[in-house]
Structure 1
């Protein structure tokens, strides 16, 4: 049900019915005759498509996006979601899927205790069958106690949202040029040491609890990054 509502909201945005701000959750509940939880799940889908931004205490605003493009990485989405046209198709090939203990490099960004258990997912992602990126992602088993292979091959964030009611409430991103290590370059068919765009991202849910950290190495040509900021009131 919430997927259908999400698609209807997306269609309304594209058709210019929502140009600035979404109606309130209560108004959407009345429009679609569903529960608040269903509306929140639908909004989360739209948010992860990169079409909305959250402003605490004010609601959801429609992003004033550049022309739709498969080469735009939307940092506002909070989950590193790319802005793909409906004609584009993103697929995955899993390289590594296992459980590990958090090492010091993961303890810090995720604010974990040493040796905390994590799911590790390394996968190649393809856009219309062309290599898009290499994603190295880690998920806390405290927030995600079980992650099936089916989810790893599809949308992990959709699975987490649907099964554990974990939604991204904030994220931290760091963009850099990073040289590919030998094993990364080999699996991507690139030259070791080649510098590519890299996005480090930590995602939080609830009251600022980190549940996911990832580094994504992009090799798709012509990529750009989109973000949004608003003035902070100084009183």
Structure 2
């Protein structure tokens, strides 16, 4: 229940409904007709996503980081979600097939069994008619047995959540600079040797089982990345 409330609060913040501060716990309890404990757990999820600041004795204030850039990716929420009202991305499918883990260098680094079968989706993604990224995504077929071709242009995470009730519980994110080789440079219509920011991501379900990993090379101008870190007091 608290996950659903947290999602509603996230959507409300991103839609601008709460621009400076969340309602009080009492007001939220009345709105959602749940206990204080449920509201606190929901707020904690939103806080972990980096969209709130706690001020002792005053409440929860909304971080205005989403207003600082027209293209900000919040890695605390997930690389597929922008803090800006970006609108949908358009996709050009390069590859959609099934492969074995032994064929994929990233899978080998993750020490997945060589015979594990994976869905492979490689696509170019566009925003406002400009190339946004080259995305190479893999889903374990024993967890996600079917992916419809009808959803390849849309959010694969949304499809997996709606179809299999799988939602990323945690992820490992690795940012690095990638120097494009001839193949990727040709796909992206860029010069070989171009250096671009790349995100490698491993996504886990709630039982700490990997269901997806990906590598995304970003090239959209003016793109920012945001990550929220809560520091524990040593006192």
Counterpart position of 2:225? 225
Partner of 1:56: none
Equivalences, count:
213
Please report the TM-score for the alignment, with normalisation by the length of structure 2: 0.75
Counterparts of 1:135-150 in structure 2 under 5 Å? Answer: 135-150=135-150
TM-score normalized with structure 1 length: 0.75
How far is 1:232 from its partner? Answer: 3.8
Alignment partner of 1:30 out of 13, 30, 33: 33
Q: CA deviation at 1:79?
A: 4.2
Residues 52, 148 of structure 1: alpha-carbon distance in 2 compared, 3 angstrom cutoff: farther
SS of match in other structure, 2:213: strand
Contact 2:73–2:226 under 8 Å retained in 1: yes
User: Which is worse superposed, 139-148 or 5-14?
Assistant: 5-14
RMSD, aligned CA: 3.6
User: What's the counterpart of residue 161 of structure 1?
Assistant: 161
CA contact (8 A) 1:110 1:213 kept: no
Match of 1:57 in 2: none
Between the aligned partners of 1:22 and 1:193, the Cα distance in structure 2 is 53
Question: Which residue of 2 is the match for residue 89 of structure 1?
Answer: 88
Q: Does structure 1 conserve the Cα–Cα contact (< 8 Å) formed by 2:144 and 2:160?
A: yes
Q: CA deviation at 1:209?
A: 1.0
Matching residue of 2:200: 200
Is there any run of 5+ residues in structure 2 with no aligned partner, and where? 53-59
Shift of 1:62: 5.8
Distance in 2 of aligned mates of 1:61 and 1:202:
31
Q: Residues of 1 paired with 2:149 and 2:98: CA distance?
A: 13
Alpha-carbon distance change, 194 to 213 in structure 1, aligned in 2, over 3 angstroms:
same
Displacement of 1:115 in angstroms is 2.0
1:22–1:61 contact (8 Å) kept in structure 2: no
Paired residue for 2:57? none
- Look up the match of 1:19: 21
